[in-house]
């Protein structure tokens, strides 16, 4: 079994599960829409009744904890990093629905799925619909309407047997039908069709999610999630105030970068090892949290950064007058997550011993690869991001301005304010 399936996330994550004999050991995107395909779809409609709030919050806690853990495992020295915990967990959630036995146990452990399957998938459905509803009437950074688009799709071998209840679950909780392709006879045309879908859903930011050769005649199922985000700042930076500034790199050298600046009332927090500021997007439903580790403490902060640390920072935010300097930045990131997921406790799903009989009775499906790709651009107007694989107010009569100069490596999280779900999580080591 030498084939691999990958799926990045410029708001997209995908899994390739294969069946073969085990080895001996929505809004005007830029891209053209993909062609109409033959589909296998459940007759059941998408469930819109909300899951219990406690279940959604439990899902979010797991999502944020998984994101912080994964960030530490895929970090490379000197390299910028961006993941979408929501995108990865949704793609893996669709896969988890068909896992049984030890395979199910290991995926739950690695992905921080603490709810039973009967409650997990409805919680995913509720969170998905909540995120899709954000930004009504708000603006994007490009002058078009605000977009937070989340799309799910499955791609399956034509004629391959699937469990009807699995198709029902994809339809009810994830709004996904199954597009029928012929991986056996036409692997490369199938790969191109999936990439066209990803490009369309991410407004052309993720164009080549699946590399040439990643889809083979052994592929039987590809599960994809795409996320696209485009939002203007609630308080935009004045382009005239942007000046070249010095950014202190982790290796001790310096770089000149465009540094945006403004002094405004923002939610702000400071601790012994960090400063943090939250920058709301237009409409106030999502915000970027920028966390600046104290000088000389980057490595220690990276090691200590987890869901509890993130929660404590958010809880400490209070409105202050902030003199903010923040570099403009733009980058993309792509990687296989297989090695990291195995290290996080799920080796079996990638082996012939995997049990995905909840997807197909064939009993010989295994995950080949999980590929994640992301893109982000931050400037004076706002933020554009994509992935394919998601307040205490203080008032004083005389405001005291707090300086926060983001002139060294920093973390950031784009989070949904109401649920606390981290849609994107990253680290900028070099804004260039």
pLDDT tens by residue, 11-66: 333 444 544 433 333 444 456 666 667 776 677 788 888 999 999 999 999 999 99
Q: How many CB atoms lie within 10 A of CB 235?
A: 14
Q: 78 vs 105, which has greater pLDDT?
A: 105
Tens digit of each residue's pLDDT (9 = 90 or more) over 363-400: 778 888 888 999 999 999 999 999 987 211 111 233 45
Mean pLDDT value across the chain: 84
Q: 33 vs 134, which has greater pLDDT?
A: 134
pLDDT at 9 over 70: no
Q: How confident is the model at residue 220 (pLDDT cuts 50, 70, 90)?
A: confident
Which DSSP symbol is given to 417?
Answer: T
Q: 27 vs 223, which has greater pLDDT?
A: 223
Boundaries of every domain in the chain = 11-232+331-376, 239-328+394-428
**Rounded CA gap, 197 and 184, in Å?**
20
Taking the alpha carbons at both ends of the chain, their separation in whole angstroms is: 41
Share of the chain above pLDDT 70, in %: 87
Mean pLDDT, range 155-173, rounded to an integer: 88
Nearest CA to 8 out of 427, 228, 385, 333 is that of 333
Q: What is the pTM of this model?
A: 0.87
Token reading at 373:
């790709």
Q: What sign results for the dihedral spanned by CA atoms 401, 310, 96, 366?
A: positive
Q: Rounded to the nearest 10 degrees, what angle do helices 85-96 and 117-132 cross at? A: 140
Q: How confident is the model at residue 402 (pLDDT cuts 50, 70, 90)?
A: low
Instruction: Give the alpha-carbon dihedral of 420, 77, 195, 130, to 10 degrees.
Output: 0
**Rounded CA gap, 11 and 376, in Å?**
10
- Alpha helices (runs of H) in 14-116, residue ranges in sequence order: 53-74, 85-96, 101-111
pLDDT at 216 over 50: yes
Helix (H, G, I), strand (E, B) or coil at 317: coil
Range name among 3-12, 31-40, 92-101, 174-183 with the lowest pLDDT average: 3-12
pLDDT computed for residue 6 by the predictor:
27
Angle CA 399–309–429, to nearest 5: 80
Q: 16 vs 215, which has greater pLDDT?
A: 215
Q: Taking a C-beta distance cutoff of 8 angstroms, is the pair 164, 191 a contact? A: no
pLDDT at 429 over 50: yes
Which DSSP symbol is given to 208?
Answer: -
Pair type for strands 219-232 and 243-248:
unpaired
The residue assigned the tokens 């688009």 is: 149
Q: Taking a C-beta distance cutoff of 8 angstroms, is the pair 86, 390 a contact? A: yes
Paired strand residues for 410: 428
Tens digit of each residue's pLDDT (9 = 90 or more) over 242-292: 999 999 988 888 899 999 999 999 999 999 999 999 999 999 999 999 999
pLDDT at 404 over 80: no
Provide the CA 370 distance to its chain's centre, in angstroms: 13
Q: Rounded to the nearest 10 degrees, what angle do helices 85-96 and 164-174 cross at? A: 150
Nearest CA to 316 out of 262, 377, 347, 272 is that of 272
pLDDT at 162 over 50: yes
Q: Provide CB contacts within 8 A for 251, sequence distance 6+.
A: 78
pLDDT at 401 over 70: no
> How many residues does this entry show for the chain?
432
pLDDT at 114 over 90: yes
Class of domain 11-232+331-376: alpha beta
**Rounded CA gap, 59 and 315, in Å?**
19
As a CATH number, domain 239-328+394-428 is 2.30.39.10
Q: How many CB atoms lie within 10 A of CB 107?
A: 23
**Rounded CA gap, 228 and 11, in Å?**
6
């Amino acid at each position: 079994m030498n084939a691999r399936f990958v799926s990045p996330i410029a708001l997209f994550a995908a899994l390739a599960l294969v069946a073969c004999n085990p080895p001996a050991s929505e809004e005007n995107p830029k891209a053209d829409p993909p062609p109409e395909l033959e589909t296998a779809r459940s007759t059941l409609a998408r469930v819109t009744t909300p899951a219990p709030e406690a279940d959604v919050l439990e899902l979010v806690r797991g999502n944020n904890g998984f994101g912080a853990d994964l960030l530490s495992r895929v970090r490379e020295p000197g390299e910028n990093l961006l993941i979408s915990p929501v995108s990865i967990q949704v793609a893996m959630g669709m896969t988890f629905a068909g896992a049984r036995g030890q395979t199910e146990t290991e995926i739950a452990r690695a992905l921080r799925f603490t709810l039973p399957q009967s409650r997990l998938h409805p919680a995913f459905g509720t969170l998905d619909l909540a995120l899709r509803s954000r930004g009504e009437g708000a603006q994007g950074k490009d002058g078009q309407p605000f977009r937070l688009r989340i799309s799910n799709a499955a791609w399956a071998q034509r004629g391959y047997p699937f469990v009807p209840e699995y198709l029902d679950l994809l339809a009810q909780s994830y709004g996904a039908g199954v597009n029928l392709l012929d991986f056996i006879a036409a692997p490369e045309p199938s790969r191109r069709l999936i990439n066209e879908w990803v490009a369309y859903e991410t407004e052309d930011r993720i164009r080549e999610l699946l590399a040439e050769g990643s889809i083979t005649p052994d592929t039987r199922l590809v599960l994809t999630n795409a996320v696209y985000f485009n939002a203007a700042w609630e308080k935009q930076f004045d382009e005239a105030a942007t000046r070249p500034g010095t950014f202190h790199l982790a290796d001790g050298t310096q770089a000149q970068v465009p540094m945006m600046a403004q002094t405004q009332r923002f939610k702000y927090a400071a601790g012994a090892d960090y400063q943090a500021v939250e920058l709301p997007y237009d409409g106030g439903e999502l915000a970027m949290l920028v966390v600046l580790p104290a000088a000389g403490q980057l490595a220690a902060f990276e090691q200590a950064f987890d869901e509890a640390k993130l929660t404590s920072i958010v809880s400490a935010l209070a409105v202050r007058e902030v003199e903010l300097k923040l570099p403009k930045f733009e980058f993309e990131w792509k990687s296989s997550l297989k090695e990291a997921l195995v290290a996080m406790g799920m080796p079996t799903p990638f082996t012939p011993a995997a049990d995905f009989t909840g997807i197909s009775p064939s009993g010989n499906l295994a995950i080949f690869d999980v590929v994640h790709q992301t893109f982000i651009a931050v400037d004076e107007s706002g933020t554009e991001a994509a992935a394919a694989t998601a307040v205490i107010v203080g008032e004083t009569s005389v405001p005291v301005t707090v300086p926060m100069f983001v002139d060294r490596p920093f973390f950031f999280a784009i989070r949904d304010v109401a649920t606390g779900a981290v849609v994107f999580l990253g680290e900028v080591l070099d804004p260039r």
